[in-house]
């Protein structure tokens, strides 16, 4: 399978995914990096944006280059880094105008107190500040500085001045700082900055106005008060799908088994433990849902009888009597009017055959299948999927789960729209038929 190269992830996605080409263009972010210790986090922000199929052009201040090299950003962005206002290689020697016109959005992370002051008072003393003044693109700043500096009245006055002009201030966060102080002033984590940028402007709005219920993670079935049956699912794929659906404009309900992942911003998370609890939670929220994506690894079996006390080690063997656990997806598929149903199939062999069997047996609209075991999928940050529906399929090549989830949501949105078109056509045909009979 092909691997999504970080430097050109957005271009690769569009080249191999016709839906991406036909539905939306990548957002162009100009990332400004200024001279603070938090600059070491900025390459990760580039990666987070590219995972969401954005294009990123980095502009560094002179101070930023004291903390991290331009070569690092070139490696992760796939673009030469711009640093000089007087770059003779830039278009017509007017590099700041070229960049100002290119960017859809500008994010400066970290944004130092000096840069905030420079922008607030209209100074154009380097390439980054000049681009910000010359561009009509929305600007966001992620401040990073010592807590006392952040609290200084001059800094706060400059921040208010920028906010009044429509510039977004993301953060800062609070916690331990490089200098040893504890308090407000830390730059937000890259994933949180990316979430803020995409939550504010949902990517393409393909699912705007729709309610999507997603399940994620494993379930646990009790054996006794201290032991349980479970599986190796980390929940990363399901959480990535939930975030991708949110970024596409959907209202998302995430029903999650036990995982070590923070609740995503802008998503309602319902925490459950067992398969029965997951089914109950899904039934509470799916009645008015448009799409149900069952990404959780739900236990197939549970103990027929749960011990009330811890089972003691009294013999060399222990026999457990297991019974079938509730099948969440199969139950929802039997509803009178089920939502658009997307299942997942994690298989160790015969991936396509088993996926198609599950697609038909559970009357699904789509199923996303992948091979697991031997270091594949579980507990990993990347994955690959084969997506099947009645009469069609599409391969989503190996890449980060965040990028993969976004591609999957594009396919789901397209298939959902096509099903809606068929339903409307069928309803129209029925109405015409009824009209002829009445005549």
Q: Which of 331, 388, 114, 346 is nearest to 234 (CA)?
A: 346
Contact assessment for residue 393 and residue 385, using Cβ atoms and an 8 Å cutoff: no
Check residue 65 and report its DSSP letter.
G
CA gap 422, 159 in Å, rounded? 52
Mapped onto helix, strand or coil, the DSSP state of residue 405 is helix
Check residue 364 and report its DSSP letter.
-
Token representation of residue 387: 């997506």
CA gap 415, 427 in Å, rounded? 18
Mapped onto helix, strand or coil, the DSSP state of residue 147 is helix
Contacts for 188-192: CB closer than 8 Å, 24+ residues apart: 188/109, 188/142, 189/41, 190/41, 190/42, 190/44, 190/45, 190/47, 190/48, 190/109, 191/44, 191/48, 192/265
Q: Which of 118, 108, 187 is nearest to 146 (CA)?
A: 187
CA gap 252, 269 in Å, rounded? 9
Q: Work out the angle at residue 55's Cα, subtended by the Cα atoms of residues 137 and 245, and round it to the nearest 5 degrees.
A: 90
Catalytic entry in 4, 132, 179, 303:
179
Question: How do 211-216 and 322-324 pair as beta strands?
Answer: unpaired
With the C-alpha atoms ordered 389, 376, 191, 100, is the resulting torsion angle positive or negative?
A: negative
Mapped onto helix, strand or coil, the DSSP state of residue 375 is coil
Q: Quick one: which H or E segment has residue 329? A: helix 328-333
Beta strands in 76-171 (DSSP E): 105-111, 139-143, 168-169
Q: Which of 322, 207, 342 is nearest to 275 (CA)?
A: 322
Q: Is 132 among the catalytic positions?
A: no
With the C-alpha atoms ordered 156, 161, 164, 170, is the resulting torsion angle positive or negative?
A: negative
Half-sphere exposure of 30 (CA within 13 A, CB side): 28
Contact assessment for residue 87 and residue 94, using Cβ atoms and an 8 Å cutoff: no
Please identify every residue annotated as catalytic. Answer: 179
């Amino acid at each position: 399978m092909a691997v999504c190269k970080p430097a050109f992830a957005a271009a690769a996605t569009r080249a191999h995914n016709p839906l991406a080409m036909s539905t939306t263009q990548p957002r162009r972010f100009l990332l400004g990096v200024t001279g603070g210790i938090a600059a070491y986090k900025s390459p990760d922000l580039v990666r987070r944006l590219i995972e969401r199929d954005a294009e990123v052009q980095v502009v560094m201040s002179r101070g930023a280059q004291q903390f991290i090299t331009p070569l690092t950003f070139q490696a992760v962005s796939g673009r030469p880094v711009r640093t000089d206002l007087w770059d003779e290689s830039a278009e017509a020697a007017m590099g700041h105008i070229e960049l100002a016109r290119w960017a859809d959005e500008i994010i400066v992370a970290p944004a130092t107190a000096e840069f905030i002051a420079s922008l607030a008072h209209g100074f154009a003393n380097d390439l980054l500040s000049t681009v910000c003044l010359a561009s009509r693109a929305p600007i966001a700043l992620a401040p990073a500085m010592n807590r006392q500096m952040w609290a200084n009245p001059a800094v706060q006055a400059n921040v208010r001045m920028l906010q009044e002009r429509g510039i977004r201030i993301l953060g800062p966060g609070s916690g331990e700082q490089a200098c040893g102080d504890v308090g407000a002033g830390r730059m937000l984590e890259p994933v949180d900055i990316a979430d803020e940028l995409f939550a504010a402007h949902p990517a393409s709005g393909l699912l705007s106005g729709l309610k999507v219920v997603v399940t994620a993670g494993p379930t646990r079935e009790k054996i006794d008060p201290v032991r349980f049956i479970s599986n190796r699912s980390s929940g990363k794929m399901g959480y990535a799908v939930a975030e991708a659906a949110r970024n596409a404009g959907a209202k998302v309900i995430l029903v999650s088994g036990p995982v070590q992942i923070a609740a995503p911003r802008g998503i309602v998370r319902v925490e459950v433990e067992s398969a029965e609890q997951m089914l109950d939670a899904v039934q509470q929220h799916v009645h008015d849902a448009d799409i149900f994506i069952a990404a959780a690894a739900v236990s197939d079996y549970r103990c027929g009888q749960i011990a009330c006390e811890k089972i003691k080690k009294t013999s060399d063997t222990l026999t457990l009597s297991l019974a079938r656990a509730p099948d969440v997806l199969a139950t929802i598929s039997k509803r009178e009017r089920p939502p658009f149903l997307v299942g997942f199939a994690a298989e160790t062999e015969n991936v396509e055959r088993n996926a198609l069997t599950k697609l038909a047996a559970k009357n699904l609209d789509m199923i996303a299948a992948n091979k697991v075991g031997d270091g594949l999928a579980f507990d990993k940050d990347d994955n690959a999927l084969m997506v099947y529906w009645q009469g069609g399929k599409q391969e989503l090549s190996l890449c980060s789960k965040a990028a993969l989830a976004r591609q999957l949501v594009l396919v789901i949105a397209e298939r959902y729209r096509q099903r809606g078109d068929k339903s409307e056509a069928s309803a129209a045909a029925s109405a015409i038929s009824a009209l002829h009979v009445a005549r």
